[in-house]
Structure 1
Amino acid sequence: MKPTHYFAILIRLFAIALVIYTVRQSSVLVEVLTSGGIQDYGVPAGFAWVSVLCPLVVALLLWFFPMTVSASIIRPELDQPIEPMSAPSILTVLVLAIGLYVLYFAISDTVYWLTLWQMSGDKYSESTLYLGGESKAAMVTTVVELLLAVLLVARARTVSGLMLNLTR
């Protein structure tokens, strides 16, 4: 097996995690469809549908096209048949795994904060949700977390190379 095959397996595991997240997020959709909002806050049904369908569509794409995604991330010079894997290749796959793990939580946190942000600006509700300084700081932290996860996935080879450079 080549590194793209191993990474494709990780991508499918990530797709499974996204489906599990979608199942959790579907409770919001059910609440919006049955009561017209979330805990007496008016939320458009379209927003609830998007928060469920976006992760589901991404999960389906990742499930059906893991080799395409894997081949686009792992460079061709790294994609050699593995007898024993070299340390940089193993480390690159591990950094990618950590990046995908962090990306999963960053995406779920982003959907959570977008939902709360949309609810806080609802002008048609009698009582709007107040987002204090702590919530805004958590939103900024989520953006940084999302950027770091994308950086880890996009630059896993560079990060693993820096980790192996121990002679400084």
Structure 2
Amino acid sequence: MTEKEDKQVSRQKMISFLKKISLEEKVVIEKKLEKNLFDSKEWKAAERVGVTLSQGFEWNTLGIIERAWQEGKKVCAPKCIPQYKAMVFYDFTKLEQLEKGFHQLIEPNPQETKEVNKTDIDLVLVPGLIFDRTGYRIGFGGGYYDRFLKDFPNQTIALIYSKQVLSGLPIESFDIPVQKIITEINS
């Protein structure tokens, strides 16, 4: 099996595992993830937070978005540009400024939001399916975040269930690790 096939198998196994978590358990884990994030120095220092809009089995980011707004932080989310396999972040101030976009992802509507220069984002919450202890990840396979993070100068955090952290992953030359992993157990 090639490394690419191996990553795909690992992705499918983790997605299957995450989908089996009960709604009650998922909510408990999400509250712990949020608390550990909100207690972090990176969160406290950030004025603008980049966050992916979660769906389905992913850890819900709505509580994070609402807390950021309550604290007076700016919130931005990525919009995929498939022809370049790139992402551009846009500030949004209400959920009505979002729409279904590439692969049915929830993304900012560019006509109703303002594009943000990546250097103006203080903290990006990076999604993923599997991480190792050094911050390398297996995401959803498009490479969008690795391309974005290649020259991103500020803080990156992954919020994940402790069972998504493995001891080692296959690392490729273009993979960019996150700087900090926060689980429901620790921050």
The structure that is strand-richer by fraction is 2
Interval of TM-score (by shorter of Structure 1 and Structure 2): under 0.3
Could you state the TM-score of these two structures normalised by the residue count of structure 2?
0.24
The structure that is helix-richer by fraction is 1
Structure whose alpha-carbon radius of gyration is higher: 1
